[in-house]
Each structure stands twice: as structure tokens, then as C-alpha cells.
Structure 1
Amino acid sequence: MSRPQCSRCLRPVAHCLCALIPNLDSRTRVLLLQHPSEVNHALNTARLAALGLNNAQLVVGEVFEDLPTLLNVPGYQARLLFPADDAQPLKVYAPEDQPLLLVVPDGTWRKARKLLHLNPLLAALPRVALADSAVSRYRLRKAPGPGALSTVEAIVQALEVLESPASFAPLLKPFDALIDGQIAAMGPDVFQRNHGQR
């Protein structure tokens, strides 16, 4: 028998995060392309980001047939937030700059690369990247390297660079609560054994 689930944040009703999800405006439009394997993941941070940003859209799939339409949003220039040797570092908007449609693949690194492989139009987008000095708050997963962030963390960091001095930190409140809840559920001994400092 499954537990009742919140229809908005998809968390069990007893652990609903909706009260912590902000309602933020951004000049940047965020398009999240989520691999289907992430939809029912307990730590679905892309959904939290999409719910907390008014100018965001979450689309689930592997092959996005409507990608040309999704990427062609009048008034925005599409950029893929994904590492590459030729990725441009994000920088603050000048007043005359056209805002970005920031396309963010969501999944494990392997699944995100698969999304790019299956959607050549996506892979062909000019890429932008974050500084790789960021440290993730995702205490339940070992990051594959410096700058490896959860989806919501990457979006917050990107928006805070582009739209400085605006703060998008409220997007991290439900994320932090989610992590704290997972740690509490496993208990301090199990957490320390599996995720403690090595």
C-alpha cells in the first residue's frame, strides 16, 4: 500500500515541501529536460526548481519531438548548461543583453549525456558553464568532481551569476529540507557510515 502523495511536489503528504517552495521571477527562462528515470526519484530537484521559478518549464522524456518549438522562444537565446571545452562561462547580463533560455538536462551524468546523444538539436546548442569551484550541499551523494552540483543547485548558481545581485537562494530551502529529511530517516549512524567525511 503506497503512502498518499502530494500532487504538486510528489512527496509523501507527511513530508510535503510545498510550504518551502518559493515563487520567484527571473529574467532568464529555464527549460528543464528531465530523463524519465528521475521523475519518481526521492530527490527530484529539477521538479523543485521548476515549481519555484515562474519562468521555468519541466519536460520529461528521452527524445523530445517538440524540441524545435521548446527552444524557439521569442526574446530569448537558447544556451545549454552543460560542461564542454568550448563552453562559455556565464556572466552577468548587461542591460541590452537578450536574456537566455537556459536549457538544463536533468539526470545522472550518463543519462544527461544520453539525452544529448538522442537529441542532436540539443547537443548542437552553444554551451555555457558554471565555475567549477562550487561545493555541493548534496550530502547524500559523492560528487564525481569539483563543481558537480544537483540540478537545483546548478540553476541557482547560474541565475545568481546572470542576474546578480538578485538572490535565488530561496530555491534551496526545499532542497535542504529534503536532504535533512533523508538523513533523519536513515539515522545518524547510517548516515555517518555511508556519507561521513572520509
Structure 2
Amino acid sequence: MSRPRCERCQRPLDHCLCPLIPSLDSRTRVVLLQHPSETSHALNTARLAALGLVNAELRVGEVFEDLGDLLSAPGYRPVLLFPGEQAQVLAAYGDAEGRPLMLIVPDGTWRKARKLLYLNPLLEALPRVTLAQVSPSRYRVRKAPEPGAVSTIEAVVQALNVLEQPACFDALLRPFEALIEGQIRAMGTETFQRNHGEG
């Protein structure tokens, strides 16, 4: 029998993260497009990001039929947070800047994220933005596929911290860090050190 889960954060009730999830306002609209294979992942960081940001939403799927409507929402300039040769490095909003960004964030492995772009040509056509410097991931229980790879929630926090400085969105990482600490405790320190310790 499966343990009862919190409806909101989807964690088992005895590990509910809701008390740690903030409610942060942002000028930037954040839209997380999650590949269906990520929804059952123990560390569903896109969901945590969507819960902690007032101006954010999470959509799950492979083909997003209403993408055109979403991208033409008035008041925002849609961009795709994804590396690429033409990707512009994110910078803080200037005073003269008009519309804030709608940050479209694909959530999934690199392969799954690329598949989302391939299946949704409107995404592929968006201007791309990227982070100038990526802080090292705190995601210590999953080996990064390449240097500079971070979890979805970390990418969102780093992007918002750049765009909306001096505002700081680090509070969004609290439930994520608690999740990781919980996983390390569950696997035991020895196993963690052996598999993920600095070698």
C-alpha cells in the first residue's frame, strides 16, 4: 500500500515540503514545460519551482497544443531558457526595459528537453537565453551529465536572481535542499560518500 501523499507537493505526508515552499513574486513569468517522464521523479524540482513562484505555471506533456496562445500573452516577451549558439546571456532588467520576459523552461533530461523542442516547433523558434555563469549544482544525489548542468529549480533561481537583481530568489531552494538532505539520510552517509562524495 502506498503512503498517503500531500496533494500539493506530492511528497509522502510525513515528508511534506509545503512549510518550506515560499510564495515569491516575480516580474518574470516562468512557464515550466515538463516531460511526462519527470512527473514521478522523486526530486520533481520543476513542481517545487512552480509552487514557490506566484507568477509561474507547470505544464506536463510532449506536444503543447495551446502554445501559440500562451506565447502571445500580452505584457511579456517569450524566451527559451536553453543553451545554443545563438543564446543571449541573461542580464538584469534595465529601467528603460519594456516588457518583462516570459521564461519558458523545458524540464527533463537533455535528450527529453531536445525532444520537446523538436515536437513543438514554436519552442524551437523562440529566442534562446542562457546563464553567463552557472553556480555549481547542489544536486548532490544525481551525477551531472556535464559540468555546468543544474537542476531545473536551480536554473530558474539563477535566472531570476540575474534578471531581477537586487531581488533574491534563493528561498525557492529551501524545499529542494531539504529533499536532498532527506535522500542522503535515507541512503546513509557511507553510501552517499562512496557514490557521490568528492573523489
The TM-score range, normalised by the shorter chain, is: over 0.9
TM normalised by structure 2 equals 0.97
Shift of 1:26: 0.1
SS at match of 1:142: coil
Is 2:65 aligned against 1:61?
no
> 1:126-160 CA distances to partner (integer Å, 9 max, x unpaired)?
00001244200000112122321100000000000
Match of 2:18 in 1: 18
Match of 1:178 in 2: 179
CA contact (8 A) 2:30 2:103 kept: yes
Shift of 1:190: 1.1
Match of 2:152 in 1: 151
Match of 1:166 in 2: 167
SS at match of 1:51: helix
> 1:7-43 CA distances to partner (integer Å, 9 max, x unpaired)?
0000000100000000000000000000001111100
- After superposition, the CA RMSD in angstroms is 0.8
Is 2:95 aligned against 1:95?
yes
SS at match of 1:57: strand
What letter is aligned with 1:50? A
CA distance in 2, matches of 1:72, 1:197: 46
1:103-118 residue pairs with structure 2 within 5 A?
A: 103-118=104-119
Shift of 1:72: 1.4
What letter is aligned with 2:43? L
| Runs of 4+ in structure 1 over 4 Å off | none
Shift of 1:96: 2.6
Match of 1:86 in 2: 86
CA contact (8 A) 2:134 2:158 kept: no
What letter is aligned with 2:147? P
What letter is aligned with 1:108? T
Q: Name whichever of 61-70 and 130-139 sits farther off.
A: 130-139
- Corresponding pairs, count: 198
SS at match of 1:101: strand
Shift of 1:45: 0.3
CA contact (8 A) 1:153 1:172 kept: yes
Match of 2:34 in 1: 34
CA contact (8 A) 2:80 2:127 kept: yes
SS at match of 1:80: strand
Match of 2:135 in 1: 134
CA distance in 1, matches of 2:167, 2:134: 20
CA contact (8 A) 2:78 2:101 kept: yes
SS at match of 2:102: strand
Q: Name whichever of 100-109 and 133-142 sits farther off.
A: 133-142
Match of 2:46 in 1: 46
CA distance in 2, matches of 1:47, 1:96: 33
Match of 1:197 in 2: 198
